[in-house]
Chains A and B, each alone.
Chain A
């Protein structure tokens, strides 16, 4: 019988969003246009147009050992070219940002190849070969996984995910990497993810409204959103996992 991922339990919109975002069969809704150059600027790893720095020669030019695993696994583009490993890191506001840290790691693992996601409470990082990263990052920023006001692209000094929003609805950022241009109601990045000023600002679109955020978020939140308590199926599932782990160590079979 073929393996069919179930992605997760729950009967609420939050649970449904989690399942959708994780499932590669769900086409992520594109919400904004971000150019290749703009993604490169936001991440700040290389200058737009510059060659990709490498950590080893292209695989076709180096002697590959006779390894059965290498025969099974097709290298990603970045691996083929010997790209170095680089990252993009996000901070997601607990005030209904669409993606949240563990969900990010799960969806990246399902959707992308050759990634190394890392999950914390206030930030989530994904590392991979640079040209692969640029492709993945573009999707992460241009689709329904991102909100310009509640999602931050932050390499360092990420403080803000749990703080009250500023009066203009933006998540707090000590470095003010992005600002809301009130005139056009557009968020623009004036610094890259580690806080270096950009020569050219990058517009990431208008902040989504509360209705959209609550329809797309993946966090349970009782203040105006879906209370975790209200998803009985989800809670029972967590209790069950815990009970089985307790009873049987790491072999939770009934």
Chain B
């Protein structure tokens, strides 16, 4: 075998492989013990719970010994554990299904229940049309009223029903602005402080982008967005915003200016987290299929926490994105079933993608002198076809060789779709971080797919035949779909809309281009700031750590219902 172009002795996946398999990671044979379900503590738990539930409800359910392949249960090979990448936490595969993982649910809840609403329009209405005074004091009072009202409490009505504070404690509103003086005058409890939360360079960029305008980062109750849908978020929030303005500024409930406030809150000043989808997909705003990749890269905050490690920042987007787009969006909203989980988890477990990506970082540093640990726009490589081809070919071949040299890793990623996504993600990230150009990253992805397919004469499931063999033509091309660059594409981009194992990685490739440049945001500074809020239930700076916590049942989500149901 020819030697790789650079030497990298560290293998980030080795610890996981040694933890998962008792044999040497480079062994090519194994004794298949066929121990069945009993080898897995989680499956044993399921068996016990299934029996208990069956007795309680009088209807049969979990019965894998009888129902799986007519009597041959899962576990004829080793039922592997997984290390959630970069966390050191080993979990059962089942614990990474979103139904079994409260952190995963909360990540999506926290996005779906978020809306950003401009305050300047409302302030102009109050000041110019109604002649009312707007000062830091009135804004503080308004925010106090709003944080009473947003969870579902009355402000101007009599004889109103209200929601139980214990059920909606995750609901609140904070504001942010680039105006330091205003920030100093507002109560800290109501402010997302850009200066304190972001590294200095990013904070300066963000404050300049926001300027003196003021925005409300609103999170409606998890229980509301779960009972209704993402389209509810702007409606729930707009109603409470309107009522709070009326209450705080002593307005007439029926005066025409209220319509201006409502219009601003519902339409003119609203930033949805996701766009409405076409009728054939039948989803309103704030549902996963409408999230632009650039916006998703802004929601994840790892670049804020790890500004000197764009690879790590991108890998966190991969984890968060594959969970949301593969496991929840394609896997459940669009398809149903449970199988999509294993496409996604391959990209954020066992440090395999991490290793391939850091190999790419070493390569771009050595060959192109990209100082990736000091992200800046100055040392980016020109995104030519030759550069993309070179970086991708090396990173792809290295990854394939690692799979070949470590058969346990091949066994870990037992499906071609898993390997295809992971290899192509490493190539895409390496290209986008090296060039600062998301389209170059996407182009690297597609060359990797072609190389992979030719090398092993296989790729992923049927879907890969379509998406990945025509992607060369819609990335870095003369007319990549009429100019829709990666940042503005999303899960509903025509070529991306049907295929598991891609969308989270695409979001990361988009983010990587900006993290590699040291940009403070990828597409929208307002979204970047909103998700920096430490009061959110889910920590968007550490999605993989949060998933690990969810898997070992240490993550406390919102959406409490025990206050209103019988005690168990």
Considering only residues 8-38 of chain B, those with a C-beta below 8 Å from chain A are 23, 27-32
How near does chain B come to A176, taking the closest CB pair, in angstroms?
8
Q: In this assembly, does A249 line the interface, its C-beta being within 8 Å of a C-beta of chain B?
A: yes
- Whether the pair A94, B393 counts as a contact (CB closer than 8 A) is no
Closest residue on chain A to residue B2 by CB atoms = A229
Asked if B411 and A249 make an inter-chain contact with CB atoms under 8 angstroms apart, the answer reads no
Within residues 96 to 120 of chain A, which ones have a CB less than 8 A from any CB in chain B?
A: 100-103, 118-120
User: Are the CB atoms of A222 and B1 closer together than 8 Å?
Assistant: yes
Residues of A within 8 A of B401 (CB): 222, 227, 229
A67 is an interface residue with CB less than 8 A from chain B = no
Is B228 an interface residue, CB under 8 A from the partner?
no
In the complex, which residues of chain B have a beta carbon less than 8 angstroms from the beta carbon of A63?
A: none
Instruction: Confirm or deny: A80 has a beta carbon within 8 angstroms of a beta carbon on chain B.
Output: no
A250 at the interface (CB under 8 A from B): yes
A135: interface (CB < 8 Å): no
From residue 189 to 241 of chain A, which have CB atoms closer than 8 A to chain B?
195, 218-223, 227-230, 234-235, 238-239, 241
Nearest chain A CB to B56's CB is how many angstroms away?
A: 32
Min C-beta distance of A227 to chain B, whole Å: 4
From A162, A230, A234, A243, B414 is in contact (CB under 8 Å) with A162
**Bound CA–CA A149/B27 (angstroms):** 18
What residues on A are CB-neighbors of B447 within 8 Å? Answer: 238-239, 242
Query: CB of B466 within 8 A of chain A?
Result: no
Alpha-carbon gap, A169 to B20, bound state (A): 22
Say yes or no: B462 contacts A118, CB within 8 Å.
yes
- Establish whether residues B461 and A120, one from each chain, have CB atoms under 8 Å apart when the complex forms: yes
- In whole angstroms, how far apart are the Cα atoms of A229 and B472 in the complex? 21
Contact check, B397 vs A228: say whether CB atoms are below 8 A apart: yes
Does B188 interact with chain A (Cβ within 8 Å)?
no
Restricting to B109-127, which residues have a CB under 8 Å from any CB of A?
none
Minimum Cβ distance to chain B for residue A168 (Å): 9
Nearest chain B CB to A232's CB is how many angstroms away?
A: 9
The answer to whether A119 and B465 touch (CB under 8 A), given A102-B457, A164-B408, A242-B447, is yes
Interface residues on B, range: 35 or more
**Which segment of B57-65, B310-318, B475-483 sits at the interface?**
B475-483
Question: Are B408 and A120 in contact (CB-based, < 8 A)?
Answer: no
Task: Give the residue among B27, B415, B470 with the most A Cβ atoms within 10 A.
Answer: B415
B456 and A219: CB pair below 8 A?
A: yes
How close is A134's CB to chain B, nearest CB, in angstroms?
Answer: 25
CB atoms of B69 and A219 under 8 A apart: no
Tell me whether A159 is interfacial, beta carbon within 8 Å: yes
- Specify the chain A residue showing the minimal Cβ separation from B408: A164
Are the C-beta atoms of B32 and A166 separated by less than 8 Å?
yes
- Report if A238-B450 is in contact (Cβ < 8 Å); known contacts: A163-B414, A229-B2, A246-B472: yes
Contact of A167 among B30, B404, B451, B458 (CB under 8 A): B30
Residues of A within 8 A of B479 (CB): 249
Contacts of B472 in A (CB 8 A): 241-242, 245-246
Residues of B within 8 A of A167 (CB): 29-31
* A120, A159, A165 interface centre (most CB from chain B within 10 Å): A120
B residues in contact with A122, CB < 8 Å:
414-416, 458
Q: Does residue A121 face the partner (Cβ distance < 8 Å to B)?
A: yes
Structural contact, B32 and A120, CB atoms closer than 8 A: no
Q: Which residues of A contact B520 (CB under 8 A)?
A: none
Binary contact track B347-388/A, C-beta < 8 Å → 1, others 0: 000000000000000000000000000000000000001000
Interface residue B405 (Cβ < 8 Å from any Cβ of A): yes
Question: Cβ of B462 and Cβ of A164 under 8 Å apart?
Answer: no
B138: chain A residues at CB < 8 Å are none
Does A175 count as interface, using CB distance less than 8 angstroms? Answer: yes
Instruction: Report chain B residues within 8 Å CB of A247.
Output: 385, 477-478
Check if A146 is an interface residue, CB within 8 A of chain B: no
B77 touches A159 (CB 8 A): yes
Chain A contacts of B4 at CB under 8 A? 229
Cβ-based interface call for B190 (8 A): no
Given contacts A119-B465, A174-B76, A249-B479, contact A100 B1 (CB under 8 A): no
Q: Give the residue of B72, B414, B454 whose beta carbon is less than 8 angstroms from that of A238.
A: B454
From A227, which residue of chain B is reached at the shortest CB distance? B1
A121 vs B397: C-alpha distance when bound (angstroms): 18
Q: How far is the CA of A174 from the CA of B34 in the complex (A)?
A: 9
Closest to A230 in B: B2
* Minimum CB distance partner of A244 in chain B: B472
Interchain CB contact under 8 A, B30 and A164: yes
- Return chain A residues, CB-CB under 8 Å to B32: 166, 172
A164 near B473 with CB under 8 A, answer no
Q: Is the CB of B77 within 8 A of A246?
A: no
With contact pairs A162-B415, A246-B477 given, residues A102 and B1 touching in the complex (Cβ less than 8 Å): no
**How far is the CB of B110 from the nearest CB of chain A, in Å?**
35
Q: Give chain B nearest CB distance to A188 CB in angstroms.
A: 18
In the complex, which residues of chain B have a beta carbon less than 8 angstroms from the beta carbon of A250? 470, 473
Partner of B450, one of A163, A220, A241: A241
How far apart sit A247 and B455, CA to CA, in the bound complex (Å)?
23
Whether B443 is near chain A, meaning CB under 8 Å from some CB there, is: yes
A101 CA / B393 CA spacing, docked (Å): 22
Which residues of A sit under 8 angstroms from B459, Cβ to Cβ?
Answer: 102, 119, 121
In the complex, A153→B411 CA distance in Å? Answer: 20
Q: When A120-B458, A121-B460, A165-B28 are in contact, do A222 and B404 touch as well, CB less than 8 Å?
A: yes
Q: Tell me the smallest distance from the CB of A152 to a CB of chain B, in Å.
A: 14
Report the minimal beta-carbon distance from A96 to chain B, rounded to whole angstroms.
11
- Smallest CB-CB A-B distances: 8 pairs: A121-B416, A100-B457, A245-B472, A227-B1, A228-B455, A222-B1, A174-B76, A121-B458
What are 25 residue pairs bridging A and B, where the CB atoms are less than 8 Å apart in the complex?
A94-B456, A101-B457, A102-B457, A119-B465, A120-B458, A121-B419, A121-B420, A121-B459, A162-B410, A162-B414, A162-B415, A163-B411, A164-B29, A166-B31, A195-B69, A220-B456, A221-B404, A222-B1, A222-B401, A222-B404, A235-B397, A238-B450, A241-B472, A245-B472, A245-B477
